[in-house]
Amino acid sequence: MQFDQRKKSSIEVDFFTEYGEGNRYRIEEVIGKGSYGVVCSAYDTHTGEKVAIKKINDIFEHVSDSTRILREIKLLRILRHPDIVEIKHILLPPSRREFKDIYVVFELMESDLHQVIKANDDLTPEHYQFFLYQLLRGLKYIHTANVFHRDLKPKNILANADCKLKICDFGLARVAFNDTPTAIFWTDYVATRWYRAPELCGSFFSKYTPAIDIWSIGCIFAELLTGKPLFPGKNVVHQLDLMTDLLGTPSAEAIGRVRNEKARRYLSSMRKKKSVPFSHKFPNADPLALRLLERMLAFEPKDRPTAEEALADPYFKGLAKVEREPSAQPVTKMEFEFERRRITKEDVRELVYREILEYHPKMLKEYLEGSEPTGFMYPSAVDHFKKQFAFLEEHYKNGTSGAPPERQHTSLPRACVLYSDNNHAVQNSAEVTDSLSKCRIREIERPHVDRRVPIHVPQANQAGAARPGKVVGSVLRYNNCGIAAAGTEAIEQQRSRMVRNPASNCSYPKRTQPCKNDRGEDECPEGSNRLQPKPQYVARKVAAAAQGGPVNNWY
């Protein structure tokens, strides 16, 4: 038991390094590792919730990687929907211009759809219907915001045992703006190959549309029905062969619209194949489900339905309700203006910091007003001393009493009072306040004192003296509130009463070993930033539909 506690404490220290706000979370276990860093499950002591904290290491080492992270946290802030994973918080870095790691706090999900398919061989038609409904509903919200996900696959869909699914990992997503003609000239190297639309396999078309995400959802749905990937191609040519084995070779008109001459020649020279009826490929599936699947897996993008059209399919009769299938407001150009220009590493750092401040409203207001007083991200003890002094000056000059403001941040040291005079015990803040409330400073004539006399700390207090860089506390204790006499002895006596509030003495070692990507996934886009379950995790059985009960009770 003690060994486990020490191990957990070691993980916690190593995980948060110098981030003081990490005190809010109690780390439980590592649940995922990848090229981006590590993910831990944790307990939020402020809200009492269980969360997943993703630590992303060295995000500014490459501008392309940091831009992908910026894009993801920005999109997840904008796209708030029950079927999209939610960012609950992002920890504030200790320095605005020097931080290199970020900690993103997500809601904790138990598994992902890949593990659900792998661990459950007894899913029912009601499960298939409800899973597809959630995916299309989330996709409708994403597409109406003019966002293409571009990397949908079972591992990027988180799952709970109550059948709830949430789309995650928007690192490869892109925004299409209204003045762009319905499609974008982006790189074709997107999406894991098994779930990649035909137009991405051979650069078939001059532009592509949100239909690429519909194809991916169709592949995921087919995998749910059979328990196996539908098109597990070993390379691009093999991928096209598997597609045409099921769908048949494309028509001459479709081939004529292919932009890439090499791909066009390959499709023209391909052995003519007839399409296989989906009822033969999926003999036990609901005919309505197969009809919708066939529409989603159309070879040409224009023949695939939109997410909204798919939700209106007869397959979802009795489950779909328009009022719980919201659309999103299109993402504005201002949010993604950085996509239209060349940006430096420092530009991205400032943009990421600005996104982090969205989860710290008070500091965001100061940032927008340009009133940041210092480079410190956490309130300093000096700032707090100024507030305490102003409070005392305002209240005690009129003889009124009241407790001065206490420190509100867990990242700061706990308040304590140490006296250089060993004859006096440590007093609590209430006693100090009471004694201060009796103070009166009388203006009297007193001999001139040379105030340039150096301060000598008494020998008894040398061990407890504040080290260089530590903050000196704000509370002074005097034997006599009124100064009736002065001189060197009186001054020395008062100085010996000075107290100090030592700053916190804890520090954390920094990580030196980067996390390795152990997914081993075939042609997964490099540098992909996603939430992964721990490798040894075996997903629990997904709760079956209540017997005889209506399916929409799951919602």
The C-alpha atoms of residue 341 and residue 451 are separated, in whole angstroms, by 59
Which stretches does DSSP call E strand in 124-208? 147-148, 157-159, 165-167, 174-175
Amino acid making up residue 22: G
Q: Is 151 a catalytic residue?
A: yes
Q: Which DSSP string corresponds to 342-388?
A: ---HHHHHHHHHHHHHTT-HHHHHHHHHT---SSBSSPPHHHHHHHH
Question: 539: closest CA among 109, 232, 166?
Answer: 109
Question: 81: closest CA among 345, 412, 326, 331?
Answer: 326
Question: 501: closest CA among 522, 475, 521, 523?
Answer: 475
Q: Which residues pair with 166 in a beta bridge?
A: 158
The catalytically annotated residue of 112, 151, 188, 213 is 151
Q: Are strands 165-167 and 174-175 parallel, antiparallel or unpaired?
A: unpaired
Specify the residue for token string 């696959």.
153
DSSP annotation of 208 reads: B
Question: 492: closest CA among 450, 527, 528?
Answer: 450
**H/E stretch holding 11:** helix 2-16
Q: Which residues pair with 491 in a beta bridge?
A: none
Catalytic sites, residue numbers? 151
